[in-house]
Amino acid sequence: MWSRFRKAIPALIVLAMMLGMLQVLSMAKIIHSFVLPAPAAVFSALITQKEILWLHCRETLTIASLGFILSIILGIIIALLMDAFTLVYRALYPLLVVSQTIPTMIITPVIVLMFGYGVVPRLIVVLLVCFFPVAINLLQGFSDVDKDQIKLMHSLGANKWEILRHVKFPSSLVHLFSGIRISATYCVMAAVLAEWSGGMSGLGIYMLRTKRAYSFDRMFASIILIIILSLLLYYFVIVVERLVMPWQRATVTYDLRREK
Amino acid sequence: MKKAKVILIILIMLILVVSIVSCQKQNSQKGNDTRSDQDQADVGDCSQTESGSKQELADESPSPGDSMETKHVNTQLQKITFVLDWTPNTNHSGLFLAQQQGYYAEEGLDVDFQESDMNFIEMVATGSAPFGIASQEQVLQARSSEAEIPIVAVAAILQHNTSGFASPAGRGITTPRDFEDKTYSGWGTELELAFIETLMKQEEADFAKVNIINQSASNYIAAMESEADFAWIYWGWDGINCELQAYPLNFILLQDIDPRLDFYSPTIITNETVINDNPELIRRFLRATAKGYSLAVAEPDKAVEAVLEMAPELDRELVSASQKWLSKKYIDDASVWGTMELEIWLSFKNWMLQYGVLENDLDPAQAFTNDYLP
């Protein structure tokens, strides 16, 4: 635990220095509070607004996590179908890629228009953003499976399902989880984006309202919350990943904190 | 493989936890605070209040599903959605007061406010919401577009335009002639550019000499601090904010230079289907809304509370200063709240046509009506 903390020290020092510099600059009125609020003001906004923020936070977190879970399920189902049936692959693959090229800002108002205000359109937006990394990574995982292992399974008389269960799926878990990790970082922002096109609650709404009332300290407080939420979800995925694939620990930790 | 099962179990547990949390939250909300405008957080499997927002607007009889909202004595309230054009602000005070003071309930209405600035006109046009807000130019543009969006203005929230061009006092921009060789930070619409061109023509200045940048995502003070010199703002909100921040501005009100630009800025809109099928709904709604705005004129303090109740995250100081200024503007020199004049619709439409900000000519008498005002 201590060693992990020690590795974070340089980043913390840089962060503290940047915040300190910002604070000094805004206290000296070199940076106006309506351009970038002082860190201390943002922190005190976090405290004074905590009840309202919590209400909005809960809203966004519910949508983000629900949408996240649904997109994992949807991503896995799509990848399985595309892997199992070449026809499905050919039919869906181009559409999947196209679905990611539509600017989300443009498509969300249309989705809200079709489904009204409420949970459904928000979930759809999160789904649209988050299922793709899961599906694509899992597909990649399936195609990277050791061909010899599959040949072996064939020669042992295994059917498609058994090959999937015993060889393909387990060996694609690493890919699956890297997709899920990307989704985890996207989903809070996707929920915020969905809120921007309509509704009365959520961190996105809070952000818009405070921005338009020129309370930039409050606006930045909500941004910090969004960052924290995204990080929490990300680390949650990593914890689950370690539980599911203890043998992968070494590779997972590799990209998180580079061992010397 | 065992691991696959583990993932599956974890996922199922997660779904359960999240849905339980959200269901509980909803129940507690129903208990403490039955205001329908609160979070629409109905997670599909624990309630179906979704139907509330999509309810057929032409349907006079209240749907049984809505009888759960029982804050007001009347359980037969008809639930309707109202789409705001922007974040809740002092333009909306009368609406929020009418809801808070129970004026809508007296008319048998329960209004569900939704803020949405990307699709509010379409929401009203498609009938997802019977009422909403749009400015005169938006109504005209919507109706004259190829899509012929059938929205109609039924009341003016403010009698006069309150927008204009602002610049930091130090830049010395006091008349449109000073726009020459300056940088304008805009929202990227043709309308603003037409405003600038019109104002400059009045003073025989050269519009081509204005440098134009788009800053729609940013805030205009920051823009004026960095690279721009002037911006289009609403005095009742943005200008008041600068006063509070002790940030001195020069401000050129549009109609001071060209009276044709004194248009109706926020108006309450509905669509033609509601007008044809349910005119009584419009009368009921406007009766309550007019009462709300009259109260906002008489008691600005109550209006401030109503706005802050709707959006507690807004800055109280800004809301009350803005409210104090705007309360005088709702009725202003008109005889009653909400009334509109054909002449203003006509001259503004002609101006829009002249500057090419309107696709096709249209009859402005079709775009608005005073028939449903109390």
B254-310 pLDDT tens trace: 999 999 999 998 999 999 999 999 999 999 999 999 999 999 999 999 999 999 999
Domain ranges of chain B: 57-160+264-366, 163-261
pLDDT value of position A197? 84
Q: B99-158: per-residue pLDDT in tens?
A: 999 999 999 999 999 998 788 899 999 998 999 999 999 999 999 999 899 999 999 999
**pLDDT, chain A, mean:** 88
CB A226 within 8 A of CB A219: no
Band (B28; pLDDT cuts 50, 70, 90):
very low
Which A residues, 104 through 163, put their C-beta within 8 Å of a C-beta on chain B?
A: 108-110, 112-113, 116-120
Query: Among residues B308, B333, B264, B280, which one has the least CA distance to residue B92?
Result: B308
**pLDDT, chain B, mean:** 84
Residue B372 has pLDDT above 50, yes or no: yes
Q: For the sheet with B249-253, list strands across it.
A: B211-214, B183-186, B230-234, B163-168, B249-253
pLDDT value of position B50? 38
pLDDT value of position B15? 63
What domains appear along chain A, each with residue ranges and CATH number?
53-256 (1.10.3720.10)
Task: State the Cα–Cα distance between residues A131 and A54, nearest whole angstrom.
Answer: 27
Q: Does B133 touch chain A (CB under 8 A)?
A: no
DSSP lists the bridge partners of residue B131 as B82
Band (B11; pLDDT cuts 50, 70, 90):
low
**Which three-class secondary structure state does DSSP give residue B46?**
helix
Band (A107; pLDDT cuts 50, 70, 90):
confident
pLDDT value of position B18? 59
What number of CA atoms fall less than 13 Å from residue B140's CA on the CB side?
Answer: 28
The DSSP output letter for B135 is -
Band (A26; pLDDT cuts 50, 70, 90):
confident
Closest CB to B41 among A35, A62, A218: A62
Which residues have C-beta within 8 Å of that of residue B59, sequence separation ≥ 6?
none
CB atoms within 10 A of CB B67: 12
Q: What CATH superfamily is the domain B163-261?
A: Periplasmic binding protein-like II (3.40.190.10)
Which residues have C-beta within 8 Å of that of residue B306, sequence separation ≥ 6?
B93, B96, B97, B99, B100, B296
CA dihedral B330, B131, B233, B137 (to 10 degrees): -100
Q: In chain A, which residue's Cα lies nearest the Cα of B127?
A: A113
| Strand pairing report for B230-234 and B267-271 | unpaired
Q: B42-77: per-residue pLDDT in tens?
A: 333 333 333 444 344 434 444 444 444 444 455 689
Inter-chain CB pairs, A–B, below 8 Å = 153
Contacts of B123 in chain A (CB under 8 A): 113, 198
pLDDT value of position B3? 59
Do B163-261 and B57-160+264-366 have the same topology in CATH?
Answer: yes
Decide which of 3.40.640.10, 1.10.1240.10, 3.40.50.150, 3.40.190.10 is the CATH code for B57-160+264-366. 3.40.190.10
Task: State the Cα–Cα distance between residues A203 and A216, nearest whole angstrom.
Answer: 14
pLDDT value of position B35? 37
Q: Give burial (CB, 10 Å; 0-12/13-18/19+) of A110.
A: middle
